[in-house]
Amino acid sequence: MSIPETDPEGDGDGDGDGRPPHIAQAADEAPAREKVEQPPSRPLPTPISSFATPRRPPLRTPLRTPIPIRRWEPKCNHPRMARLYSGAYKCSGCGRSGHFGWLYRCVMDRDILILNAKSKGEQYAFDALGLDFGKMMSLGKFGADSRILRYSFLREITEEQLHTYTPLQLGRVLSQRDHVHRKIYEERHGLSPSKEAAQKYPNNARPWVPDKLWECQAKLCHDCHRIGSDKSWLSLNGIMNNDIPPHAATGFSFSNLGFRPEADVEVVKNIGYRAVPLVRFSSLSTLVFVH
């Protein structure tokens, strides 16, 4: 079998690269077939993520100072209060009526105003019982109306306490009180009071008596001012010694009602003495009260 010779010069029937004619023809036709058989190309779909708006990383926001919770604080710091029975007033703290039909009401200035009204001959009680007890009311042996007296110290202590002082100690206490009274007199006549003080305490002879417009009228419910129970107590010893606070003597707690509530004495005297019934379970799983 003879092998056809190649045409190195490219003048024969073969390909110029030295390939046989039938191989060169097949090689030339192959790309043409591939181009014909290949399906038409389609553009690739745009990724969905390309339609999204580019998002910048969030900027670091400055830390905000937390808003403090505003807690109501009573403006009245007076040590004396009383229950005011009335549904017409609202609590100064929460704005609601008292759950028990009353509110704690400051009587620090009210006691002074009641005594001042009595000294002027004005009406100071709403019933005959208040007028009768009004003869024994006072601000106490440590009140301002007693301290204005130069030797009020002798009324503030008992006979037994007086004997515990030596004459030297007693003279020193009285001289100190006298010194305070002289200083007060000098300042009252040498200095003019401020405008606010003159408006609040216009009575120069009785400077502890406030003006009615400046009276502390704080009204608080038990939920907002639980300490009011510690401020609204009465001394039974003081009452027995005819030392009755003016608001208690005149029945200020019931002044808005116009009467003093009364209860059956037979019911009141047994409060707290009634036996608490015991509870037991019977065989039928029912509650049985044992008296």
Q: Which residues pair with 102 in a beta bridge?
A: 85
Q: What is the mean pLDDT of residues 266-282?
A: 76
Residues composing the chain: 291
The structure tokens listed for 151 are 């030797």
| Residue 242 confidence (pLDDT) | 78
User: What confidence tens digit (pLDDT) does each residue in 52-69 have?
Assistant: 455 565 556 555 565 555
pTM, to two decimals: 0.63
- 263, 269, 235: which is closest to 249 by C-alpha? 235
The mean pLDDT value of the chain amounts to 79
d(CA 222, CA 99) in angstroms, rounded, equals 8
d(CA 43, CA 50) in angstroms, rounded, equals 15
User: What confidence tens digit (pLDDT) does each residue in 223-264 have?
Assistant: 999 999 999 999 888 888 878 999 999 999 999 999 998 888
The structure tokens listed for 20 are 């046989």
